[in-house]
Amino acid sequence: MTSPWTNINQTSGDGGYNGMGRATSIAFHPTDPDIFYVGAPIGGIWKTTDGGETYSAIGDSLPYVSVGNICVDHQNPDILYITIGDHSGWWNYGLGVYKSTDGGQNWFPTANISSFTNSVAYLKMVMNPLNSQELFVAQTNGLFRTQDGGNTWDIVRDGSHHDVVYKPGSDAVVYCATDDYWGAARCTSIDNGENWSQSSDFNMTANYIKLTVTPAQPEFLGIQSSAAGAMDYYSSFDSGLTVDYISMMPEDGVIFFSPQYQDLVYCGFVVVYRSEDGGFGWNQITDWWDSGDFVEVHADNRYVAYHPLTNEIYFCNDGGVYKYNEDIDLWTELTAGLVITQYYRIAVSQNDDEFMIGGTQDNGGRKRVGFNTWESTNGGDAMEVAINHEDDEIIYTTYINGQLYRSYDQWNNDTYHEITPAESQGGAWVTPYVLQPSDPSVIIAGYEDVYRSNNQGNSWTALSSNLTGGVNNKIGAIAVAATNDDAIFASYGVRLYYTTNSGDTWASQNVVLGAGSGSEISSIVVHPYDASKLWVTISGYSSGNKVFFSDDCGDTFSNVSYNLPNIPVNASVIDKESPQLDLYVGTDVGVFVFNTETIAWDYYGVGLPNTSVTDLEIQYSSRKLRIGTFGRGIWENDLLSEPGVHVGAIDQNAGIRVDLAGNPVQQSMVLNIHSSAEKEVLMEIYAIDGKLVHSEKRNITPGHYQWLIDTNNLDAGNYFFRLNGESLNLQTIQFLKI
């Protein structure tokens, strides 16, 4: 029986620039101004009953906690509708329309559902303002309508649709926008969707249209057209019969009419702009950072709505939710309690069981400096991170495409030492790099080629030349064997590249063929005691192609996906101290661990919402598995197994670390020695009953090297190894002789 997952994420941000995470939808209770609902693209649905002071998650029973649209029944507010899947584009496939009849405590699918492999995105959902049984959904496979609360649906328009809105105060006039890559159109129905007329044609490639209306003047219709870098604003003043070009907008992202004043229009993505003359002129009113010129509101606006009871405007962006009162020009941040942080990668200290760092989408690098205490590191988007396992004052973080930074004091004063390899041509969005297990001052990084630094990033050497066949083919995953510094593994797509001589020669192998679009190697994990064995995980939706194993350094692979569901597998980690070397994988719906007895994958832990797990790390002294999720922050759980061996011993004060290079041992035991000091030690081996079976004196000298200890004369069984010396405090290492 596994213990439940615990969320250890920050519960509030620093405000503005450092927010909580991406919110993409909001909907309001029809009679209580303090109750509203917030949707997150991979964070679920959240409810507040105190106007945004606190929130609680109410959709964790959903098959996938991704909410793109929310509608509240204005006649019975206990009835809620959501679409599962992000609404930001055709590539965000979803599961359809779900409904709750008890205020969000329980959810069930309506008749409009799909699977991920159906490749359907649900981009906009609206409810008839006078008849709550009728809803329209703009989907990539048509404009759908229900007139019985979701029991049945019909397609009222074929083709991909991006937006749909009702004319304010009308239950018959509906506007929609198609979402055709080769062109787009806006259409109007005056009979509840039975018949449609094309009101305007925006026949430009890759044009995305958004619509806005206002109760301040129901005849008005605002149209945002975004194509080929042009961001144009159009308006209709006669319910869509005619459309006039008004202006070029300073930014797209959102378009929104004031609910009170017909000439006030808002637009913007990174910052918010307002027009006071119906869209002819635009003025900036926020900034994405504390510039001193405008109020600080987080960047990247995704959705805007107004509260029908208060007329306050709510902006959903990559930091959370902001409320704007346009009468008194007041912005209020409402992000505290929205635990929807999107982590790309995390790293844990092996010296301090609380300290850890992570890289988030658009909310910068974060560091946990104490229980429930978080601070920021680098700003913007932060990606792969790493902590020196011998000295956790030394940390690494990245910005997009591999801009690599190092700090010598956990990013307190010593910040922004950029150490990006000068010769590199940029890396992937999340550029992979690792600290060498035997020597954390060595960094192995994957850009268009593999690079190594032997001095914490001060200088770099290329270990390959045109490895992936082109400068635009960026390495996606990288790993180094713990027992062989020369064994390095990298990937591009589903192809693995590997060397056993530090890059003098490289070989490559396709891990899987025919996996299809979206499938690529997402992580590589090497056996902790055998450099020839490794596992790779595969992303994408190719059924049965999730995890592969090689026992010959990558020359051949066998499929060990077994019963894993057809969802992307994103990350992996091995518990090197567990008796069976437990292998965990992170997927788009949680964590699985391999069961060596049943030869199957078991879903791991309870209480974790079905969200995307992007990274896994083990903190060994506390025996905790920690995961970064792309939408619900950071969680931890107890590891499945009690440690079968202690494979490492460290005395940070003495500057000495000893690692067991392989367990079980046979004729000899290999120890990796890392020392910054010279010391005479007494090396002792004890049997399980405490009897001393071997003792000898040795000198530890500075450097990184191996000791070979003869164990041929030991009987099979469990033993304890210990180094004793003056002012030396190393833990005992347990090993098994076979």
Structure tokens at 395: 């940390």
Mean pLDDT per block of 10 residues along the chain (738 residues) reads 86 84 97 98 96 96 95 97 94 95 97 94 97 97 98 96 96 90 84 90 81 97 89 94 95 96 97 97 96 95 97 97 97 96 97 96 95 91 96 97 97 92 96 95 98 98 97 97 93 97 96 87 92 95 96 95 96 89 95 94 93 96 95 97 67 78 82 86 83 89 88 86 80 80
Report the C-alpha gap between 438 and 40 in whole angstroms. Answer: 41
Cα 17 to Cα 8, 296, 334, 591: the distances in Å are 21, 8, 14, 31
Report the C-alpha gap between 428 and 476 in whole angstroms. Answer: 7
**452: part of which helix (H) or strand (E)?**
strand 450-453
**In sequence order, what DSSP letters do the residues of 306-351 get, joined into one string?**
E-TTT--EEEEETTEEEEEETTTTEEEE--TT----BEEEEEE-SS
For 680, what's the count of Cα atoms within 13 Å in the CB-facing half-sphere?
2
The pLDDT of residue 1: 46
For residues 17-26, b (16+ Cβ closer than 10 Å) or e, as one string?
bbbbbbbbbb
The pLDDT of residue 596: 87
The pLDDT of residue 3: 76
φ/ψ of residue 605, rounded to 5:
85, 165
* Radius of gyration over every alpha carbon of the chain, rounded to an integer in angstroms: 29
Report the C-alpha gap between 585 and 508 in whole angstroms. Answer: 24
List, in order, residues 6 or more apart from 656 with CB less than 8 Å away: 650, 673, 674, 675, 676, 677, 679, 700, 728, 730
Counted residue by residue, the chain has a size of 738
Q: Alpha-carbon torsion 598, 602, 604, 605, what sign?
A: negative
Lateral strand order in the sheet of 356-360: 343-348, 356-360, 365-370, 373-376
Distance from the first to the final alpha carbon of the chain = 31
φ/ψ of residue 402, rounded to 5:
85, 20
Report the C-alpha gap between 236 and 257 in whole angstroms. Answer: 13
SS3 630: strand
The pLDDT of residue 645: 53
The pLDDT of residue 402: 97
Q: Alpha-carbon torsion 295, 298, 301, 304, what sign?
A: negative
φ/ψ of residue 313, rounded to 5:
-100, 135
Strand 286-287, strand 295-296: pairing: parallel
Report the C-alpha gap between 622 and 638 in whole angstroms. Answer: 8
The pLDDT of residue 2: 66
Closest CA relative to residue 22, chosen from 417, 220, 299, 371: 299
φ/ψ of residue 231, rounded to 5:
-120, 95
Cα 345–Cα 350–Cα 352 angle in degrees, nearest 5: 100
Residue with tokens 């503005």: 16
Closest CA relative to residue 85, chosen from 588, 665, 733: 588
φ/ψ of residue 116, rounded to 5:
-60, -35
Closest CA relative to residue 344, chosen from 90, 627, 593: 627
